[in-house]
């Protein structure tokens, strides 16, 4: 069997199995975290620009945008997928260097709303999308991440698998959907090495592509079944000929959706270990930002290269500036949405501290990437004191997870300013009981 057929066969077989309570619980956590990312992203660009550009697909159809506007299934998947990736608070699968929620859940929700699927069917589709895509992401590994943005390239598989599950495609059509969506895989890292809106569009396009491939397969469109492992296929063209057999070793046994990273800071996830380590060391030394003479940060290569803006001018650049987010955390105490307002980006104290930060690749920590995301932080005080701290993981990673209460807090912090406290709390209550919803039709 080809790779796409093996995933499809598992998905079809999984329909006969009742979801374990733990898997169901973690699927709901993923959906809650997705809404936390979606709502603030839905009221800013590029989502608001996409609504205008797709005006002929607005106010029709059976799917809904984040704030309730009707849209076609594909437009809703695209816009909600982009919105959920915009403010950089969406979930991460660490081993796949990948944000699965933005594309996968956007695709699943659009189809679930249009088809009147139940809450349980929706959660199962989300689970299937996560399990298929995270394994493809992990297999492609670091070689793929050199040039490609996994949330776009790997996200198509999550969106497609979730959509195929909601459509109830048999194994044959499910496999063809995955084969077709493989050829839609796209998203270059260069697109966010300069200030642009392209990065969130990767997630939105992946969601739309997944829906399109699944709907096409339902009607009989076929794909090349060997497109992933073939001589000129996905694995060789965009990676380093990965061992696909490893992708199936724990499929259906170890559910990746149960070990997601939920972000505790509103910026690039590669900066998190440095932020957490700097804050921990600041507290241990009982030192104010103005008392710091110098900071040295050692981390893995991607942390230095992807978040390498030296003097950010815009929110997008600031979210990908390791020096900025560490400096603003030490100066203001956190890196939430307020950190990317113009006044904070241009804050004099933060800028002064940035000039005293050095960032380097730590060979030991780089060798552990992507399985471990760590940082080594050293602070030298103006009074001569100096200490070093190893942050071995990120707050929010599976080995240091956010509790349900902390996840609720994150959601409310991000949702209330957009839809109000009453609606935000009502939605949260509904999401925690999603499996009991008979239909998700608006």
Give the long-range contacts of residues 331-337, CB within 8 A, separation 24 or more. 331/289, 333/279, 334/265, 335/265, 335/266, 335/267, 335/275, 336/265, 336/266, 336/413, 337/40, 337/87, 337/266, 337/414
248 lies in the same domain as 282:
no
248 lies in the same domain as 383:
no
Specify if 167 maps to a domain: yes
328 lies in the same domain as 312:
yes
For 412-430, what is the HEC assignment? HHHHHHHHCHHHHHHHHHH
Q: CA 41 to CA 31: how far, in whole Å?
A: 15
Question: What pLDDT, on a 0 to 100 scale, did the predictor assign at position 246?
Answer: 94
Question: What pLDDT, on a 0 to 100 scale, did the predictor assign at position 128?
Answer: 98
Specify if 62 maps to a domain: yes
Specify if 323 maps to a domain: yes
345 lies in the same domain as 429:
no
Specify if 103 maps to a domain: yes
- Cα 434 to Cα 165, 271, 342: the distances in Å are 17, 33, 38
Question: What pLDDT, on a 0 to 100 scale, did the predictor assign at position 263?
Answer: 97
305 lies in the same domain as 169:
no
98 lies in the same domain as 211:
yes
CATH number of the domain residue 277 falls in: 3.30.1330.120
Q: CA 435 to CA 190: how far, in whole Å?
A: 40
Question: What pLDDT, on a 0 to 100 scale, did the predictor assign at position 317?
Answer: 95
pTM of the predicted model, to two decimals? Answer: 0.96
237 lies in the same domain as 382:
no
Specify if 442 maps to a domain: no
Question: What pLDDT, on a 0 to 100 scale, did the predictor assign at position 62?
Answer: 96
- Residue-level pLDDT, tens digit, the chain, 442 residues: 999 999 999 999 999 999 999 999 999 999 999 999 999 999 999 999 999 999 999 999 999 999 999 999 999 999 999 999 999 999 999 999 999 999 999 999 999 999 999 999 999 999 999 999 999 999 999 999 999 999 999 999 999 999 999 999 999 999 999 999 999 999 999 999 899 999 999 999 999 999 999 999 999 999 999 999 999 999 999 999 999 999 999 999 999 999 999 999 999 999 999 999 999 999 999 999 999 999 999 999 999 999 999 999 999 999 999 999 999 999 999 999 999 999 999 999 999 999 999 999 999 999 999 999 999 999 999 999 999 999 999 999 999 999 999 999 999 999 999 999 999 999 999 999 999 999 999 8
Specify if 396 maps to a domain: no
Query: How many domains is the chain partitioned into structurally?
Result: 2
305 lies in the same domain as 196:
no
190 lies in the same domain as 163:
yes
53 lies in the same domain as 184:
yes
Question: What pLDDT, on a 0 to 100 scale, did the predictor assign at position 245?
Answer: 95
Specify if 441 maps to a domain: no
> What phi, psi does 283 have (nearest 5°)?
-65, -40
166 lies in the same domain as 251:
yes
Question: What pLDDT, on a 0 to 100 scale, did the predictor assign at position 295?
Answer: 98
Specify if 379 maps to a domain: yes
CATH number of the domain residue 177 falls in: 1.10.4100.10
Contact 181, 208 (CB under 8 A): no
Question: What pLDDT, on a 0 to 100 scale, did the predictor assign at position 96?
Answer: 97
Q: Cα 323 to chain center, whole Å? A: 22
Q: Which domain holds residue 169?
A: 3-264+401-436
Q: CA 221 to CA 136: how far, in whole Å?
A: 23
357 lies in the same domain as 250:
no
Question: What pLDDT, on a 0 to 100 scale, did the predictor assign at position 306?
Answer: 95
For 307-332, give one letter per residue: b (16+ CB within 10 A) or e: bebeebeebbbbbbbbbbbbbbbbbb
């Amino acid at each position: 069997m080809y790779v796409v057929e093996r995933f499809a066969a598992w998905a079809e077989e999984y329909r006969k199995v009742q979801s374990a309570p733990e898997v169901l619980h973690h699927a709901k956590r993923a959906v809650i975290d997705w809404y936390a990312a979606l709502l603030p992203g839905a009221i800013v660009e590029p989502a608001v620009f996409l609504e205008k550009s797709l005006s002929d697909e607005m106010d029709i159809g059976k799917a809904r945008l984040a704030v309730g506007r009707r849209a076609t299934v594909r437009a809703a998947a695209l816009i909600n997928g982009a919105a959920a990736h915009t403010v950089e608070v969406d979930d991460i699968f660490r081993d796949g260097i990948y944000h699965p929620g933005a594309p996968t859940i956007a695709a699943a929700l659009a189809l679930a709303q249009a088809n009147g699927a139940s809450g349980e069917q929706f959660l199962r589709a989300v689970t299937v999308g996560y399990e298929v895509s995270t394994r493809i992401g992990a297999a492609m590994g670091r070689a793929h991440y050199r040039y490609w943005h996994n949330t776009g390239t790997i996200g198509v598989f999550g969106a497609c698998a979730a959509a195929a599950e909601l459509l109830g495609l048999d194994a044959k059509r499910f496999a063809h959907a995955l084969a077709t969506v493989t050829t839609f895989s796209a998203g270059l890292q260069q697109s966010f090495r300069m200030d642009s809106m392209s990065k969130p569009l990767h997630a939105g396009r992946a969601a739309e592509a997944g829906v399109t491939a699944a709907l096409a397969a339902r009607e009989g469109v076929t794909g090349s079944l060997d497109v992933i492992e073939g001589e000129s296929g996905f694995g060789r063209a965009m990676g380093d000929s990965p061992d696909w057999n490893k992708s199936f070793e724990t499929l259906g046994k170890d559910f990746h959706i149960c070990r997601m990273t939920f972000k505790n800071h509103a910026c690039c996830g590669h900066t998190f270990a440095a932020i957490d380590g700097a804050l921990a060391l600041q507290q241990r030394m009982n030192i104010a930002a103005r008392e710091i003479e110098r900071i040295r940060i050692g981390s893995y290569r991607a942390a230095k290269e992807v978040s390498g803006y030296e003097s950010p001018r815009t929110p997008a650049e600031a979210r990908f500036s390791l020096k900025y987010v560490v400096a603003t955390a030490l100066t203001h105490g956190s890196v939430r949405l307020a950190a990317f307002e113009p006044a904070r980006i241009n804050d004099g104290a933060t800028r002064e501290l940035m000039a005293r930060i050095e960032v380097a690749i730590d060979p030991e920590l780089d060798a552990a990437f992507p399985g471990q995301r760590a940082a080594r932080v050293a602070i030298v005080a103006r009074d001569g004191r100096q200490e070093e701290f190893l942050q071995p993981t990120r707050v929010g990673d599976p080995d240091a997870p956010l509790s349900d209460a902390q996840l609720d807090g994150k959601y409310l912090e991000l949702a209330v300013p957009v839809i109000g406290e009453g609606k935000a709390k009502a939605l949260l209550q509904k999401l925690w009981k999603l499996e009991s919803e008979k239909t998700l039709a608006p």
